[in-house]
Amino acid sequence: MASIAMMFAGLTSAYVVKQAGGHWRTYELPVVFYVSTVVILLSSVLMILGVKAFKSREIPKYRRLITFTLILGIAFCVLQAVGFYQLYQIPQQVVYDGVASENYAPVTVSGNPGESFLFVIAGLHLLHILGGIVALAIVFFKAYRTKVKVYNTTGIEIVAAYWHFVDVLWIYLFLFFLANQ
């Protein structure tokens, strides 16, 4: 997780440095990104409750919470895809270095560096979320096994720690992009 944090720190630092160089197109984040932020925060809360239920050996409750956490994780990915589709398809007013023009154009990865940075940074985060969803899916399937021999919390705690990490990472990126619009 430290190496992932360093990678995103480097990318956001490069974003700031490149933005200071000028000729930088700004864009507005679609409303769906706000919704996806609430979804991932809720998934983290459910994960906390799920770990607590597992530790208390409340397995039916744990199963429900892990199921909803996984569903919300998938919903986050879908909402992110919708948000990027909106950025890519819906024209926005072109604003370079704080000066609005009369032109409207969608955000593209082949355009201005500001646009490319957005897609690269958020795309890398989405890849890490997909890794978390795979881990959640493994925990989900293990939760529904009929025979549990050992109630070892290590696996679920590792998945929870990673899930909370990518949640906090998204909050950082979301606030970063909002501050740099």
Residue 28 has pLDDT above 90, yes or no: no
Residue with tokens 């919390």: 153
Q: What is the three-class DSSP state of 170?
A: helix
Mean pLDDT of 12-28: 80
Residues 123 and 35: their CA atoms lie apart, in Å, by: 18
Give how far the C-alpha of residue 134 lies from the chain's centroid of Cα atoms, to the nearest Å.
14
- pLDDT confidence of 102, banded at 50, 70, 90? low
pLDDT at 165: 95
92, 108 Cβ separation under 8 angstroms:
no
pLDDT tens string 84-94:
888 777 666 66
Q: Which helix (H) or strand (E) holds 101?
A: strand 99-105
Q: What's the mean pLDDT in 46-58?
A: 94
Q: Is the pLDDT score of 146 beyond 80? A: no
Tokens of 57: 């050996």
Instruction: Please say if the pLDDT value at position 49 is more than 90.
Output: yes
| pLDDT confidence tier of residue 29, bands split at 50, 70 and 90 | confident
**pLDDT surpasses 80 at 168:** yes
pLDDT at 111 over 70: no
pLDDT value, residue 132: 93
Q: How many CA atoms lie within 13 A of 23 on its CB side?
A: 3
Whether residue 136 has pLDDT greater than 90: yes
Residue from 49, 48, 19 nearest 118 by CA = 19
Residue 59 exposed, middle or buried by CB count within 10 Å (0-12, 13-18, 19+)? middle
- Of 49 and 145, the structure prediction assigns the larger pLDDT to 49
Q: Tokens for 93?
A: 């007013």
125, pLDDT greater than 70: yes
Residue 7 token pair = 């990678």
Q: 54 vs 39, 130, 139, CA distance in Å?
A: 22, 23, 11
